[in-house]
Structure 1
Amino acid sequence: MPKVFIAGPVSWNRLVQLDRLPEARPHTVFARGHRETVGGTSAGKALNLAKLGAQVTLRTVVGDDPAGREVVRVLAGAGIEVIAEVADTPTEQHLNLMDPHGGRLSVYLELPSLTQPRHDAAAWAAARAADAVVVDLADHARPFLAADAPIWCDLHDYDGAAEYHRDFLAAAAHVFLNDDAIGDPESFLTARVRAGAETAVATLGARGAMAATAAGIERVDAVEVAEIVDTNGAGDAFFAGFLVARLAGADVRAALHAGAEHAARCLASPDLA
């Protein structure tokens, strides 16, 4: 059972299904459905890793409010050890507008601000004991970029230039991103390996995924999904499938396949994992 430590954000999300994403003009639309659930990239990774058999510790930030308590309850119920720093501000909350084809618009409604961590000793102990340390994009997660274990970072829709991502990119031994804004993902991945990363991975949507290592580029196709139910968490599911496979000794190509297969299962499910 691999041990994975994650530092990063969780949220409480309202998901609204629409026939199509709204145009930028005043008008009225009717939802096909809506629900509330746990969200946030670190919650998605933690839930998927736990589903795949990893022993997961998640250090995150919530508010002292019903949303924060529900997020912690759901995560703990999935067998995840949650180290929750409680902020004076509300728990992170999103409004996600989604269409049936995988399109999504995410609106941040609340974003917590942590001024005084109280559980650093427990968090650092978990990080030291981990086989992999995942540090997600959040200011409160930045200190864990200094952990001794190999750092895994998901840059999401990084464009190759944004200043916010620079520290995460520099610290990561394993770099992930999608191809929404990077332009030429293969050149970017190759450059990251030349800069010292062990692995650099890009997900390409329906075109599959690719990874660069010192040995070169590997590519795999996406796994076909008969019906996309919910795109939330698919990238985190891919990340989790790849990470668990690599920790189990799989080569990069096999890990890409594992990530693609787990992402497909997530796309066919209404849940993050």
Structure 2
Amino acid sequence: MTAETDVLVLGGAGVDTIVHVPELPVPLADSHMIRPGIVTRAGQSGDFFALGTSALGLRTHHLDLIGDDHEGDLVRALHRDHGIALTAVPQPCGTKRAVNLVGPDGRRLSLYDATRWAETDRLPEETVRGLAAASRHAHVVITQPCDRALPVLRETGVTISTDLHDWDGANPYHEPFALAADLVFLSAAALPDPEATMRRITARGRARIVVATAGAEGAYLLADGELTHVPAAEPPAPVVDSNGAGDAFAAAFVHGWLGGEPAVHCARLGAVAGAHACTVPSTRVAAIGPEALRAGVTGRAPGTADGA
């Protein structure tokens, strides 16, 4: 049976309020004048990943717990405006939200509202099973309660990817995601020894590919036991914000991987998409398209024919 969906995204739907600050850490003061202002918009990790895969032509379906509130309306509108299928499970606690403090250099500090979930939260098993059975691949965000869906996904036989973000290699919360996925992304920012953590993931779990992103230093790819350094791509415009860069990297990598591309080429695609994301202001959501992605890898300007 032909799959109806290329990528099922679980979790990570929410709303961010963007606050530009003079520097990070924020200097202690009674007040600061903020420019270009304070903006609230839909878009958290799962949203950004879904936007990325959809913009690259993959049929994408997003599943998460979403509240009947203003933030939920923003999330539903984001998906509707970008043509991304969304299954919203009612969340009495409300839609996930966060405040992102963004410095002049594009770095950010995220403050997540921990009241927007409960220990009893669950994604309905039959909903997960049905959507996964109709999908080629599932990307699982580490937001609660997506870990509970991992066994169901494994039963369906769908391949799984996840992003552990700034895992320190020790926090037990991340381990179910790290060990259940076939393809694991994480940031090297909090890892004292990225290679050791990457190899531990492959030794203990199912993954045969692990990617650790390292910002301007590029990324490290562990595929079939071989570690490769992938240089960072040149941003196509000035860097203004790093928000969503890791999600863009993962989305472009999965795009290449589902297309049968070698892992090293997938990582190059990810590097280009991540660099593009760093040029998009945090107040907006915009993902790289297939033409610009190809151009970033080949070094040609978009619209230039092969051999020109």
Asked whether the two chains share a fold, i.e. TM above 0.5, the reply is yes
Q: Equivalent residue for 1:50?
A: 54
Query: Structure 2 vs 1, CA of residues 215 and 140 (structure 1 numbering), >3 Å: closer, same or farther?
Result: closer
**Alignment RMSD (CA, Å):** 2.0
Asked if the contact 1:190/1:213 (under 8 Å) is kept, the reply is: no
Q: Equivalent residue for 1:10?
A: 13
Q: Deviations over 1:116-151 (max 9, x none)?
A: 768543432111222211111122212321212122
Q: Equivalent residue for 2:140?
A: 135
* Aligned partner (choices 225, 241, 254) of residue 265 of structure 2: 254
One-letter code aligned to 1:69: D
Whether 2:236 is the aligned partner of 1:239: answer: no
Asked if the contact 2:53/2:255 (under 8 Å) is kept, the reply is: yes
Query: Structure 2 vs 1, CA of residues 30 and 211 (structure 1 numbering), >3 Å: closer, same or farther?
Result: same
How far, CA to CA, are the matches of 2:86 and 2:100 in structure 1? 25
Runs (5+) with no aligned partner, structure 1: none
Q: Equivalent residue for 1:80?
A: 84
Identity of aligned residues (%): 30
Q: Equivalent residue for 2:212?
A: 202
Whether 2:31 is the aligned partner of 1:28: answer: yes
Query: Structure 2 vs 1, CA of residues 219 and 28 (structure 1 numbering), >3 Å: closer, same or farther?
Result: same
Q: Deviations over 1:23-78 (max 9, x none)?
A: 46444222122211112111110111111111111111111111101211211221
* TM-score after normalising by structure 1: 0.93
> 1:15-164 residue pairs with structure 2 within 5 A?
15-23=18-26, 25-33=28-36, 34-109=38-113, 111-113=115-117, 115=120, 120-146=125-151, 147=153, 148-164=157-173
**Higher mean C-alpha deviation, range 187-196 or range 176-185:** 187-196
2:243 match: secondary structure: coil
How far, CA to CA, are the matches of 1:52 and 1:77 in structure 2? 16
Q: Equivalent residue for 1:230?
A: 241
Asked if the contact 2:105/2:241 (under 8 Å) is kept, the reply is: no
> 1:212-223 residue pairs with structure 2 within 5 A?
212-223=222-233
2:76 match: secondary structure: helix
Asked if the contact 1:8/1:59 (under 8 Å) is kept, the reply is: yes
How far, CA to CA, are the matches of 1:49 and 1:39 in structure 2? 14
Q: Deviations over 1:70-96 (max 9, x none)?
A: 211211221211110111112111111
Q: After TM superposition, which residue ranges in structure 1, 4 or more long, deviate above 6 angstroms?
A: none
Q: Aligned pairs, how many?
A: 273
One-letter code aligned to 2:6: K
Runs (5+) with no aligned partner, structure 2: 288-308
